Amino acid sequence: MSDVIIRTEGRAGRITLNRPKALNALTWGMCLAIEDALDQWRDDPAVALIMIDGAGDRAFCAGGDIADMYASAKRGDYAYGQRFWRDEYRLNRKIQHYPKPIVSFLHGFTMGGGVGIGCHASHRIVADDSRIAMPECGIGLVPDVGGSLLLARAPGFTGTYLGLTGSRMDAGDAIFAGFADHYIPAQDWDGVKAGLVAGDLDAIKARPAPPSDLAAWQAEIDVLFSGDNVADIHAALHDAPGPAAEKARKLISANAPLAMAVAVRIIALVRQDPRIETALDHEYRYTHRAAAQGDFIEGIRAAIIDKDRAPKWQNYGPADVAAMTAPLGAKALIWEDET
């Protein structure tokens, strides 16, 4: 069975991520197959819209399949991961700029690479079981796949909070933060999909969004996460009362310090120029170097390989942040529609 099921039904081009036992984690091959389908459907008059969903009942897509990246990097081969990220980021940009409607059904876990596939779509649907997050700082990466654009556009400093903590958003939070558009109970999704197959976008009949903790906490978050750097944020959080501060202290304490320092910087830069190209360019400066210079290998070891949840993060200083965020020159991303 294919890892991604690609077909046309009625007026819809349909993409189903099909690795349910792996929570539909994206492989490099899946990214290339999805991009190829989008390229074919772009100018096909028989295809009015695109639908993307995930097989199984646990996840739309819980992230990228990073085991191969880890194995290749341990061998000293950093090119594999760098090429994976280049191709994935090109797909993320293509989804954001796609000329036809793309409807994503974000059930269960949508994290990391899943955000890149599902949350740049034009119509993003969530349900009661939706849990959306950018938890990359927990494995020594920064929020990527264009996620820094979504974080930069979130109300106030909500995006900085989400990027540093990796906190999971439910349906109400995701809509408030701009990671989703429509709340529709899961039992109604089959009817929505049937309407979309007929080419009818009006089949998306959303209900009022559920309440959002993020919305209730925004004033607190804006005080705590408005610092110019991660040291300022740590200082603000130190003895601060309130539910956002309490949750943030717990989540941040486990994350890679260098990754968080760079994440604050990237999100701030993208706020000044909120385009997906800007976001991906800054993200790739870090991910291109993450295995050789950052904490990515240690983060994956602790979370996925040994599963001891006890990473030994490196200490860092301003020079390390500068080194991880410097322009890549000839190795920078170029925006050509070549696979």
Where in the sequence numbering do the catalytic residues fall? 64, 113, 136, 144
CA distance linking residue 276 with residue 274, whole number of Å? 7
Name the residue with tokens 């860092």.
316
Residue the block writes with tokens 């740590």: 234
Residues ≥6 apart with Cβ < 8 Å to 161: 167, 214, 221, 224, 225, 244, 248
Say if strands 4-9 and 12-17 run parallel, antiparallel, or are unpaired. antiparallel
Secondary element (H or E) of residue 50 = strand 49-54
Phi-psi domain of 63 (left: phi exceeds 0; alpha: psi -120 through 50; beta: other): left
The span from the CA of 265 to the CA of 321, in Å, is 9
Question: Residue 180 and residue 121: Cα distance in Å, rounded?
Answer: 9
* 211 close to 153: Cβ distance less than 8 angstroms: no
Q: Please tell me the distance from the alpha carbon of residue 47 to that of residue 198, in angstroms, as a whole number.
A: 10
User: What CA–CA distance (Å, rounded) separates 60 from 112?
Assistant: 11
CB 266 within 8 A of CB 142: yes
Strands of the sheet containing 131-133, edge to edge, are 59-61, 109-111, 131-133
Judge contact between 257 and 316, C-beta under 8 A: yes
